Amino acid sequence: MVQAGGLRMHIAEAGQGPLVLLLHGFPESWYSWRHQLVALADAGFHAVAPDQRGYGKTGGPEDVAEYSMLHLTGDVIALMDALGARKAVLAGHDWGAPVAWNTALFRPDRISGVIGLSVPYLPRGSAAPVAALRAGYGDGFYMVHFQQPGVADAELASDLPATFRRLLYSLSGDYQGAAAIPVIPAGRGILDVSADPPELPAWLSQRDIDFFVAEFARTGFTGPLNWYRNLDRNWELMAAWQHAPVTVPAQFIAGDKDMVISFLGGAPMIAGLRDIVPKLAEPVLLPGCGHWTQQERPAEVTAAMLEFITGLGGRAATGAGG
């Protein structure tokens, strides 16, 4: 446990050396980085994966407004300060990716490099997001559906083993159906648009399912869902950064079967990333991989991360010694 500003934060860590912070997504925890923690430590880095605000043993405040992007990025800088690190490399997956990208945007003096997994950098646009998403996909679009207090919270908590089996399988590269952004029919729930696997894929064990179930049995889903409930607030707070580029060295890693990639425009979107991330390395697109990038393809993701991090100049570039 680390006191990171006003938040007492739970972290998993391994190794010594330059700091690499690993930021998880929804609905996960530090555990989604279990493979990279050990590999990065073996390569000479101090790998740290926190339970972010609202998750796991970190927990968080009840006020929805305290889950804004300014709070989430502030937690990253506060954690770096608590660990005595002047600089760090950030890697973020799913919701952790926007936190990583925006921390690099806000504090390029503190971030040596940023690695986004699954979710590319999406600069602030010209319209508030929830109304735009509702207009494009209806009230059933999952991000719009999540705006309703208590609704998805109860749905996801009603059968935790089924929740994690279905979500982790249906968004993975092993799912046999067509990858699609969830749109929930009226009167139904998020689990109604996902599939129970005939058997767990090779990258996902019953032990993994049991870990996530135990974490969310204790905490519930309201804290994590509050991240979605700040979409419009984030847009308002970030007006000064409209269309702003991320200027630190960067890498993007994703699976070619990830529904996020198809939703955002596929290969042309990836090809255009350098327009808003000018120091972007050659993106890594993993064939047959779905949304759970670093869990589905741990060895390939770790290799790509290490190639990028060591290319920054090793210990000097990552601020060794704090």
291 labelled catalytic: yes
CA distances from 266 to 96, 213, 236, 271, 285 (A): 20, 32, 28, 9, 11
DSSP assignments along 66-86, one per residue: GGSHHHHHHHHHHHHHHTT-S
Three-state DSSP class for residue 286: strand
Catalytic option among 46, 75, 93, 94: 94
Cis check for the bond before 27: say yes or no (omega within 30 of 0).
Answer: yes
94 labelled catalytic: yes
List strand residue ranges (DSSP E) for the chain, in order: 2-4, 7-9, 11-14, 19-23, 46-50, 88-93, 111-117, 250-255, 284-286
DSSP state of 194: S
Any bridge partners for residue 253, and if so which?
A: 117, 284
H or E segment to which residue 158 belongs: none
* Cα gap 189→167, rounded to integer Å: 12
Any bridge partners for residue 13, and if so which?
A: 48
* Cα gap 54→34, rounded to integer Å: 19
- Which are the catalytic amino acids? 94, 291
